[in-house]
Structure 1
Amino acid sequence: MLEGAVETDHLACLPPSLAAAVSSACAGISHNLNGQRLGRKGRVTRERILAAAMDLIEADEQPVTLARVARHAALGMTSVYNYFPGMTELLLAVLEPVMATAEDDYLCVLRQPWPDDELFEWCQKFVVAYHGFWLRHSRLLHLRNALADQHDVQMVAHRIRSSRPVVALLVRQMSEEPIGLGPHTSMATILMIAIERSVTIVTNPELRRLVGIEPELSEDRYLVPGARLVQMAISDARSESRSDLEGNA
């Protein structure tokens, strides 16, 4: 393929929702790093770079480099450097459309009212949806977390930003407490950490091996207790809120 050629199927390797998120993210970029205004060709080139990076990250275990991404996208390094000065910036750009799909994948579950008599079912639905999101993007999310654990400031910040909507929505399920430094916010934060860590283990074959989870062992071993933990925390918070209201009546 000639460099700069416009492919009509450059996003074909991605699921439709993710391909749409990539296009939307690229449509919001007006200039490249050289200050040149982007037309359709420039946006398509950026889409090709992101799609190639996503494909490489999820396809194999080899380290992903800008050079590999350029080859996979059938572009020269100059074209890649026009948009991304390094791998950190490229990974952040890849994460943007991926996290844009979180609303439809699991945040929408948290936005629904969870009745007391169906609380466990809704908690389990959320945990399973969150696990499914991680499973679809496991290598990318594990790479982000690995870099965050190595104190990459931008990846740490991204990890925190991506967890905040979950924390806020869990607090809303608990009570009318404003998101902040209250006890329900603290509990929601702990729940988020626990759920992410358990999902991290069950979606990473190497971590599963290290902690002794056999390949044939169902993820339910961790997902069901996670859902039960969320249920107990929300139920306890609601009971406490009702007691406070009755005491103030």
Structure 2
Amino acid sequence: MVEHSRLAALPPTLAAAVTQACAAVSHNINGQKLGRKGRVTRERILTAAIDLIEAAQEPVTLGRVARHASLGMTSVYNYFTDITELLLATLEPVMATALDDYLSVIEERWPDDALFEHCYRFVRSYHGFWLRHSRLLHLRNALADQQDARMMQHRIESSRPIIDLLVRQMSDEPLGFGPHTSMATMLMIGIERSVTLVTDRELRRLVNIGPDISEDRYLVPGARLMELAISDARSGGAGREPMALLD
């Protein structure tokens, strides 16, 4: 069937995540309980949305997704009220693959004598994740920058696991708003912005970053800054009060 061929065209981990995400939904937005047919229909919609976003020839709309999935608009509206809701549902299985793509790289505490190598591996893994899903992630960020509250919240929530793991790399400080959390947040902002730059074709063109310029021009400095921040935190530097730095 068409929907299965499209699903099979996705990377195996993403295809499995799409199926799992749809299986976890018990009712449509009208409160009707979903059986196998309903879950397969939802799967068709998400797969069609992913396919269209990756193609990125035209703006993604519910109408285009419905046509791509060979469904009527009524079927789509049974599951999603607007395009943001559909994009959030599409992001769910994509973010579910983050553990294998980059979070697993940062879970174990990195040794001091190989800190840069581990930082670089993480930054490269995060860049690889963005490269695989760049059109969807750039679309999310563009909507967040336009003050779409749901996309802003998703962007924040997707960064929190990385920030938490960075804090654990720095010290045993409880998660919250301590100095290490602040440092990890700033690192995350910088890393995401640099990865956004090197995975955005149009932005690269505007700032004259040609295809011959390696992404390492930005990823290596990002890894070095991460190394310095973690090393400083482990030595007690990041824990000093701000006024103490001026003495």
3-state SS in 1 of match to 2:102:
helix
Match of 2:95 among 99, 106, 118: 99
* Deviation string, structure 1 residues 57-77 (Cα, Å, up to 9, x no partner): 011231001111011111111
Partner Cα separation in structure 2 for residue 47 and residue 87 of structure 1? 16
Alpha-carbon distance change, 32 to 194 in structure 1, aligned in 2, over 3 angstroms: same
Structure 1 contact 109–125 (Cα < 8 Å) conserved = yes
- Give the letter aligned to residue 145 of structure 1: N
Q: Structure 1 counterpart of 2:227, which letter?
A: Q
**Residue 153 in structure 1 maps to residue 149 in structure 2:** yes
Q: CA deviation at 1:104?
A: 0.6
Deviations 1:96-131 (A, max 9, x none): 100000011000001022000110000000000000
State which of 211, 216, 220 in structure 2 corresponds to 1:215. 211
CA contact (8 A) 2:45 2:65 kept: yes
**In the alignment, which of 21, 25, 37 is matched to residue 25 of structure 1?**
21
Which residue pairs with 2:236 in the alignment?
A: 240
In the alignment, is the contact (CA less than 8 A) between 2:183 and 2:238 conserved in 1? no
In structure 2, the residue corresponding to 1:240 is in which secondary structure?
coil
Q: Which amino acid aligns with 1:31?
A: H
In the TM superposition, residue 233 of structure 1 has moved relative to its aligned partner by 0.2
Bigger CA drift: 208-217 or 102-111? Answer: 208-217
Q: Does 1:87 align with 2:83?
A: yes
**In structure 2, distance between residues paired with 1:187 and 1:241:** 11
Gaps of 5+ in 2: 241-247
The amino acid across from 1:166 in the alignment is I
- What is aligned with 1:78? 74
5+ residue gaps, structure 1, are 245-249
* Alignment TM-score, normalising by the size of structure 2: 0.94
1:182 matched to 2:178? yes
Q: Distance in 1 between matches of 2:164 and 2:9?
A: 34
- Equivalent position SS for 1:104: helix
Tell me which of 116, 124, 130 is aligned to 2:112: 116
Poorly superposed stretches of 4+, deviation over 4 Å? 241-244
Query: What is the one-letter code of the residue matched to 1:111?
Result: E
- Tell me the SS of whatever aligns to 1:67: helix
Q: Aligned pair count? A: 240
Relative to structure 1, the CA distance from residue 188 to residue 243 in structure 2 (aligned partners, 3 Å threshold; closer, same or farther) is closer
Give the CA deviation at 1:35: 1.4
The structural deviation recorded for 1:10 is: 4.1
Match of 1:247 in 2: none
Query: Percent of aligned positions with the same letter in both sequences?
Result: 73
How big is the shift at 1:13? Answer: 2.4
In the TM superposition, what whole-angstrom CA distance separates every residue of 1:209-239 from its partner, at most 9, and x where no partner exists? 1222112110000000000000000000001
Asked if structure 1 preserves the Cα contact closer than 8 Å seen for 2:44 and 2:69, the reply is yes
Q: Deviations over 1:19-78 (max 9, x none)?
A: 100111111100111211111110000000000000100112310011110111111111
Q: Which of residues 44, 65, 68 in structure 1 aligns to 2:61?
A: 65
Could you say which residue in structure 2 is the equivalent of 1:203? 199
- The equivalent of 1:164 in structure 2 is 160
- Decide which of 5, 11, 33 is 1:15's aligned counterpart: 11
Alignment partners' CA distance in 1, 2:4 and 2:234 = 52
Match of 2:125 among 125, 129, 138: 129
2-side partners of 1:216 and 1:33: how far apart?
Answer: 48
C-alpha distance 242-146 of structure 1, shift in aligned 2 (>3 A): closer
Once residues 3 and 99 of structure 2 are traced to their aligned partners in structure 1, the CA distance between those partners, rounded to angstroms, is: 29
**TM-score (structure 1 length as normaliser):** 0.93
